[in-house]
Chains A and B, each alone.
Chain A
């Protein structure tokens, strides 16, 4: 593999083909955020919290409960990490880094500060994704490919919320 970046339109076309093949072969539309909610229920079960007192983990026949894992989407999310690891290693672009450069230039090199904001961001993001019913993959890619109204609204507001926040973070 050469250390050359793939053209974004070609990459997009390949992802589109991958989505269509996944639906044809496995009957699965792509999505990622539900796995983290399911993961939370598995952790609660493992540490002895009575997850069943939360409607969310028992609703829809336990669709989001601990019994739903392992499933297609969990393996898909793990696969993304694996695929990115393999591709970055083979192309020599893998680089272990605790603080992104753009962040460092604005907020300093503290990995603790970055870690705390990343954790809070992840938590807020997942709450929003579960409320919206999906993330940029589920609503954006899979939803818009089906011309779903929910996908159009969700993606628009994902970007509006994120662009305003990013602007506030990086304003002088």
Chain B
């Protein structure tokens, strides 16, 4: 059943992303070159709605959070490395699958590269674990937790900041 849920979720995600037009190289690189913000508009508005939904259903006890551990070393260095790859390929992992579905055949080379990258990571993992992931490792922490304030305050402030950003994008025609 889990497999079917995965497939259905993926299909719906693929349809929404395709219809919003963010699967192309031009939209992805356009966002990274800061000339077309469509990708960030989709992503950040998804995060606002997601955060409201996740914390609402968490508060009423329907779901649990599943935080990823925070490691400054892993997320800063891994993040920068990921960014270099994202810009060279022009698609992030989930987008690459959708881009291929839409006919961007170069995404297939990217997917093969990702499989190769997965194999390389398995080889270098012991080194990363010892020297990189251990830098600034804080475990599973959230912003409201370290600020010591109610999560709804964080969500409201975050949403307001994002709406200001969206208005800036629209005003500048980005």
Q: Which residues of A contact B (CB under 8 A)?
A: 1, 5-9, 11-20, 22-30, 32-33, 35-41, 43-44, 51, 54-57, 59, 64, 70-88, 91, 93-103, 111, 114-167, 169-170
Contact = CB atoms under 8 A, between A and B. Distances in A.
B83 A153 contact: no
Given A73-B6, A82-B11, A136-B43, A166 B32 contact: yes
B85 A75 contact: no
A83 B72 contact: no
Contact of B13 (A30, A37, A143): A30
Contact of A118 (B6, B88, B97, B103): B88
B93 A129 contact: yes
Interface of B: 2-26, 29-30, 32-34, 38, 41-55, 57, 62-63, 65-72, 74-90, 92-107, 109-126, 128-129, 132-133, 138, 140-144, 146, 151, 154-155, 158, 166
Nearest to A131: B78
Question: B-side binding surface: helix, strand, loop or mixed?
Answer: helix
Contact of A123 (B53, B90, B114): B114
A18 B49 CA distance: 10
Given A84-B17, A130-B121, A165 B88 contact: yes
B85 A79 contact: no
B110 A122 contact: yes
A26 B53 CA distance: 15
Contacts, number: 523
B143 A145 contact: no
B82 A125 contact: yes
Nearest to B39: A8
Chain A interface helix/strand/loop/mixed: helix
Given A94-B102, A119-B112, A121-B87, A135 B82 contact: yes
B92 A135 contact: yes
B21 A82 contact: no
Contacts of B3: 70-72, 75
Contact of B85 (A23, A99, A125, A137): A125
A20 B167 CA distance: 26
Given A79-B13, A95-B103, A144-B51, A71 B6 contact: yes
Contacts of A18: 9, 12-13, 16
Contact of A151 (B68, B72, B78): B68
